[in-house]
Structure 1
Amino acid sequence: MCVATEDVIRGLDISLDTVVIVGKAAGPDNYVHIAGRCGRAGRRGSCVSVVGYEDSGRINGWSSMLGVEFEPVEAEDVAGSGI
């Protein structure tokens, strides 16, 4: 596990199975860079972004630009799921 701020992750070259981004990235380029810590060297990986409702619209707007699909999940759905 690696815990780092957006500023610090820029200099790291590591491979992780899962990246969790808490709060919105500064922009789509930063999101791609942070999410790129997972699935490196042809491996598959997952990226989970934890943001408030007020930031979800902006992040969903990045979907077509980045070629990724974001799947919103309500807090109530996660609370009882064991995640």
Structure 2
Amino acid sequence: MGLQAYDEEWPFYHVMATGMAHAIYTIVTRQGGRWASQQISFAYDWNAEAVRAQANGGQDWLTPLITGQLACLQKLIPDDRFY
């Protein structure tokens, strides 16, 4: 299971947030010479995963797991990173 929202330095600074707690994956296939994609989301017990993350020292994972958002975007992105 991945994380529904995060910020990352590599290969350049960026932020990703799905905006929901559901797990999401995409199936990409080639059909008749064209690419097609199907995005699938599904519910799971994200509250239990948040409890597990906290028990393992992942306090910073709680909000992304439950909401699909970052806890406080302004604290994570310095002002000079807004373009």
Q: TM-score, normalised by structure 2?
A: 0.28
Q: Which one has more relative contact order, counting CA pairs under 8 Å at least 6 apart? A: 2
Which of the two has greater strand per residue?
2
Structure 1 or 2: larger helix share? 1
Q: TM-score, normalised by structure 1?
A: 0.28
> Which protein is bigger by CA-based radius of gyration?
2
